[in-house]
Structure 1
């Protein structure tokens, strides 16, 4: 059964690369493919373990796994038909709305079918984490997962940049109109920018994991390390980062570029202060990413246009801030239960006070989750994210493994970037972005609990040690 387990792991790697390809998996047919993929992978995993999944690995990730699972239980409750007395107890406003239209039964959700759709996606997210817990059981596999993320980001970046540089007017596959702005296989440029921000941060972490921590005692050793670095796979990853930075700038996403810059700067400062046995080249690496990649490369490929968009940003010309302000009234009316996951586009027109166009999302994921899930459930997810951040932070402070500390630093930067970017956009709505971010939360936890290179936590993977390629 070891071969079946290995097949499941490689299926996981392929899924990571596949997710952004079909329009960011942000269409019903696209996320259905991912859901079926994850379900089949779960079945293979059960067969690989002969139905006897050990409980010890689950205990190490209980905050992430149970946090996601409890949230799905709440989403299920939102979509269940409830007696009027019970519905009035939990959400008087929902009961009033359903009774006003003469509905035979009522739900907490004001769009129960879309909430069920969201539930299926949420169950897939939870199963994905469960699969990762059993499949990513060594430091070698951990690095392979991060490498898969970087490969996926590089492919997206290269494709997006070539479409712009070749002046294509339509996307090659789906025929969407191209306007000289990088979107990759996504439909919305900010979703690509958010995805590249995460993959860039994880690529940085992968490079940090390969930096030397001991000083160069002589000029000969310094030159030798320099040549080894130039000829090593580390330079391939560095080239991937440059390609992704080019595409990120070409998206002209204001907050996408700002989030990456801020995440790199803040993460770099955290590393310089708290990193245990920090590599001597860490400062140079962070400085080069900010100076060379963001400024020099960005200037060649359109950073001035991003700056122009930032300068021209005006609250008077933007209607997104009005959406956020009016959404606060929804939170006030549905503070504990929310209106049901994926119901924003249904409920928002009731609270809109002017004709500002159609908004199916709040363009602020904090507000949208508060609207749809309610305050308690949103705080639960917030705790899951902050706990993952803390575990990654503890890893860079206390662990000796270069691999674990480097990956943890990448996770810290990714989490910081995501928390910044979702304040002005809906980047957790496409499955590609959401599942990649959940994977990063898993990696943050894994960097704290998995043993260092060469050690395995699962007996089922012992036969796999010699066959796993080192990054």
Structure 2
């Protein structure tokens, strides 16, 4: 039975690996892999648990952080259904969006339970970075679009994502994780000569890959993603006061500075305009764009929150409620370009507060455990994941990442992986 259980575990892991690898370019693959992982996870519980504990977690598990806030978050979303503007849309959002993400979190946290499985996930994510980074550069350098989805760049690269902001959201999770993997490997240098050569070559490849991903981030021209990464650097300074991370803090702006000429080239002919005038002109245009479009959309969301303050207008109903709040002259955007405002509009202050509780609990537990973990491998991976998640959460203030299938699944995948890393590290160290 133990062998069968391990086989089921590895099949679940395999479905998760395919899911995270194909996530940037195949929504159908994400859905199929999730269904397979959920089925195997349920099968494992049916076969290898006592009848009264098939799916019911223990009281200790329910009351633990961040599990309890997650249950409260689901409850808040469920309650919002009873005052929903569309019961059908809310039920669809509950069962096919929210619960999918939450189950993904629990499956990750439970299934990735040793270092071999964790390494498999990290290698798969690194290979995905390599593929999507190459896709983004290919899209920028050619006129045929990216090679995975044939999306044209239209001045801002998207790689296989439908928007440059979506690509930016993916990049700012992956970049800190890549640095975490690099330094985790750096501190685990092998002793055999052949292994050392291979270790060195992989290190060089990862440095080149980091350069590719940073260049892609610049070429997305996603200001929200840039802001997310900038705030993540500050988070890193506060959480991990370490000379190595201070070097990273210097290297990232330096890399962005090196990539700046490519960014400028998209706007300027050589010597055609004064550079300072160019900066001033485009900053004004940026501010005007934010004032005219995004501020109006945020105001619209605030009006919905004013009318539905406690439990919102109903999960997954923003697109049908928002048109009633538009003026004749207002921009015709559907979503508010702010995940938190949309969440508050749909599920009220209760829903938004419960989500913030989920995030703060996750970071509180993770930072506490990070200081207990002595193995630098797990420490660097955990820091990379937390930093990427923090960047993503900041970026979500400027976009609707929580409502994009690929990005919200990536967020909950990373959250589950954060818990899994801690459990593995503390188990290995006997804590």
Same fold (TM over 0.5): yes
Structure 2 alignment gaps of length 5 or more: 268-277
1:159 aligns with 2:121: no
| 1:204 shift after superposition | 1.6
Assess, with a 3 A threshold, how the Cα gap between structure 1 residues 78 and 234 changes in structure 2: closer, same or farther.
same
CA contact (8 A) 2:335 2:342 kept: yes
1:328 aligns with 2:328: no
Aligned position for 2:256: 294
Structure 1 alignment gaps of length 5 or more: 80-106, 215-220, 273-277, 458-471
CA contact (8 A) 2:188 2:377 kept: no
RMSD between aligned residues = 3.2
Assess, with a 3 A threshold, how the Cα gap between structure 1 residues 442 and 303 changes in structure 2: closer, same or farther.
farther
Which residue, 349, 373, 379 being the options, matches 2:353?
379
* Matches of 2:59 and 2:183, distance apart in 1: 27
1:417 aligns with 2:419: no
Aligned position for 1:179: 154
Q: How many residues are aligned here?
A: 403
- 1:19-42 alpha-carbon deviations (Å, 9 max, x no partner): 2213xx3xxxx4xx5344323222
* Matches of 2:11 and 2:256, distance apart in 1: 39
1:39 aligns with 2:8: no
1:129 aligns with 2:129: no
Assess, with a 3 A threshold, how the Cα gap between structure 1 residues 303 and 117 changes in structure 2: closer, same or farther.
farther
Q: Which of the pair is proportionally richer in helix?
A: 2
TM-score, scaled relative to structure 1: 0.76
**Stretch of structure 1 that moved more, 39-48 or 187-196:** 39-48
How do 1:458-469 residues align onto structure 2 when only pairs under 5 Å count?
none
Aligned position for 2:271: none
| 1:179 shift after superposition | 1.1
SS of residue in 2 equivalent to 1:434 = helix
Which residue, 274, 277, 287 being the options, matches 1:314?
287
CA contact (8 A) 2:79 2:311 kept: no
| 1:137 shift after superposition | 0.5
Assess, with a 3 A threshold, how the Cα gap between structure 1 residues 161 and 175 changes in structure 2: closer, same or farther.
closer
SS of residue in 1 equivalent to 2:48 = coil
How do 1:43-442 residues align onto structure 2 when only pairs under 5 Å count?
43-48=39-44, 50-53=46-49, 59=61, 62-79=64-81, 107-119=82-94, 120-168=96-144, 170=145, 176-212=151-187, 231-272=200-241, 278=242, 281-291=244-254, 293-296=255-258, 298-302=259-263, 308=279, 310=283, 312-315=285-288, 318-442=292-416
1:3 aligns with 2:29: no
| 1:358 shift after superposition | 2.3
SS of residue in 2 equivalent to 1:428 = helix
CA contact (8 A) 1:193 1:251 kept: yes
* Matches of 2:39 and 2:429, distance apart in 1: 27
SS of residue in 1 equivalent to 2:156 = coil
* Matches of 1:61 and 1:237, distance apart in 2: 40
**Stretch of structure 1 that moved more, 374-383 or 258-267:** 258-267
TM-score, scaled relative to structure 2: 0.83
